[in-house]
Structure 1
Amino acid sequence: MSSDGFHVHGPHDHELEHAAQHEPKGFAGQLAVITAVLATVGAFFSYMGGATQANAALYKNDAAIKKTEASNQWNFYQAKSSKQNLSELAFDLTTSDEQKAKYKDKIARYEKEKSDIKLAAEKLEEESRHFDELSGEQMHLHHRWAQATTALQISIALAAITLLTKKRWMEAATLATGAIGIALGGAAWLHY
C-alpha cells in the first residue's frame, strides 16, 4: 500500500476477502464449533463405554467365582451322599442293635448336612446367575455407548469432509449423524 491511497492486494489478501464475502456466515467457524462439541460428547461416550465394559468383566468374574463356590458345595454334597450311602449299607449289613442305632444317627446327620449344603449351593448358583445377568446388561450398555461413539466419530469425519468440500448438504449429513450418535448415547444413558 502506498502513501497516496493507492492500494494493491496480494494473492493472499484477495483469497481472504473472497472467503469472507462468499463463505456463508463463518462456515469454517461453525464447523469448528460443531466438531468441538461432537468431540467432547464423543469423549464422554467413549469413557462410559469403557466403564460399562469394565463393569461387565467384573460382574462376569464375580459370576465365575460364585459358580466355582457352588461347584465346591455340590462336591461337598456328593461326598456327604457317599458317606450316607455307606452308612445305609452298613446299617443294612449289621445285625447289632447298637450298631444299627449308630448308623441310623449317622444317616440322619448326613441327610441334614446334605440339606444345608444343598441350600448353600443353590444360593451360590442364584448369585452366579444374578452376576451373569448384570454382566449381560453392562455389555448391552457398552454396545450402545460404542455405537454412539462410532456415530459421533463418523460425524466428525463428515465435518472434515464438509470443510474441505464446502458443501452445505454435507453439513446437514454431519448434523444428522451427530444427532444419531447423541440419540444412541441417550438410549445408553437411559439403560435402553
Structure 2
Amino acid sequence: MSDEFEVHGPHDHAVEHAGAHSSDPSASRIAVMTAILASIGAIASYQSGANENLALFYKNEAAIRKTEASDQWAYYQAKGEKQNLAELGAALSDPASAGHTKFVADVKRYIAEKEPIRAKAEGLENDAKKDNDVSESLQHQHHRWAQATTLIQISIALAAITLLTKKKWLQKMTAGLALIGMGVFVAAWLGV
C-alpha cells in the first residue's frame, strides 16, 4: 500500500471545475494547453536543477585544481630556493673541493626536478580554466532553463485566470506568454 498522495493547489481545482462545467470549447483547449505546459515546465525545472548542480560540480573541480596548482607552484618555488642555496654554496666553496662538486650536482638536480613540477602546475591551471569555462556555460544554460520554467508557470497561472474570467484578451496574453516560454525552453535546449 502506498502512502503517497497528490496535493492540488486552488488554481488546479478551478481549472478542473471550469474545464468540466463549461460549454465554451476554448476552455477544454486551455485545459489541455495547461497540462502540456505543466509537463514542459516540469522538464525545464528538472533541467534547470541538473544544470545548476553540474555547474557547481565543475566550479568545485576548478577550485580543487587551482589549489593543487598552487601546491605545485609552492613545491616549484621550494626547489628554486634549494637551487639558489646550492648555487650560493658552489660560488662560496673552493672549486677543487668535494663540497663544490656536490653543490654543482645539486644545482643540476634541482633544475631537472623543477621542470616537471612547473609542467604539472601549468597543466592543473589549464584544467582549472577548462572546468571554470564549463561551469560558466552550464550556469548560463541553467538561467535559460529557470527563465523558461518561470514563464511557463506564469502562463499556467494566467490560463487558470482565463478560465475563470473568460476574457479573450487574457487568453491571447496567456498564449503569447506560453509561446515566449517555449521559445526560451528551446533556447535552453539548444544551449543558446
TM bucket normalised to smaller: 0.7 to 0.9
Q: Distance in 1 between matches of 2:95 and 2:142?
A: 68
For residue 36 of structure 1, report the CA deviation from its aligned partner. Answer: 0.5
Q: Distance in 2 between matches of 1:165 and 1:96?
A: 100
Q: Distance in 2 between matches of 1:30 and 1:181?
A: 18
Question: How do 1:117-156 and structure 2 match up within 5 A?
Answer: 117-156=117-156
Q: Distance in 2 between matches of 1:105 and 1:19?
A: 94
Q: Distance in 2 between matches of 1:96 and 1:176?
A: 87
Q: Deviations over 1:120-157 (max 9, x none)?
A: 00000000000000000000000000010011011011
Q: Deviations over 1:88-147 (max 9, x none)?
A: 111111114232221111101101111111010000000000000000000000000001
Q: Distance in 1 between matches of 2:82 and 2:170?
A: 77
For residue 19 of structure 1, report the CA deviation from its aligned partner. Answer: 5.3
Structure 1 length as normaliser, TM-score? Answer: 0.86
Structure 2 counterpart of 1:185:
185
For residue 161 of structure 1, report the CA deviation from its aligned partner. Answer: 1.2
Compared CA separation, residues 19 and 129, structure 1 to 2 (3 A)? closer
Q: Distance in 2 between matches of 1:134 and 1:19?
A: 50
AA of the residue aligned to 1:79: A
Say if 2:170 is the partner of 1:170.
Answer: yes
Unaligned runs of 5+ in 2: 1-20
Structure 1 counterpart of 2:161:
161
Structure 1 counterpart of 2:102:
102
Q: Distance in 2 between matches of 1:96 and 1:120?
A: 35
Q: Deviations over 1:57-111 (max 9, x none)?
A: 0001110111111011001001101111110111111114232221111101101
Larger Rg: 1
AA of the residue aligned to 2:89: A
Compared CA separation, residues 94 and 51, structure 1 to 2 (3 A)? same
For residue 28 of structure 1, report the CA deviation from its aligned partner. Answer: 2.1
AA of the residue aligned to 2:105: D
Q: Distance in 1 between matches of 2:141 and 2:169?
A: 32
Q: Deviations over 1:161-191 (max 9, x none)?
A: 1111101121111111111111101111111
> How many aligned positions are there?
171
Structure 2 length as normaliser, TM-score? Answer: 0.86
Structure 1 counterpart of 2:26:
27
Q: Distance in 2 between matches of 1:111 and 1:96?
A: 20
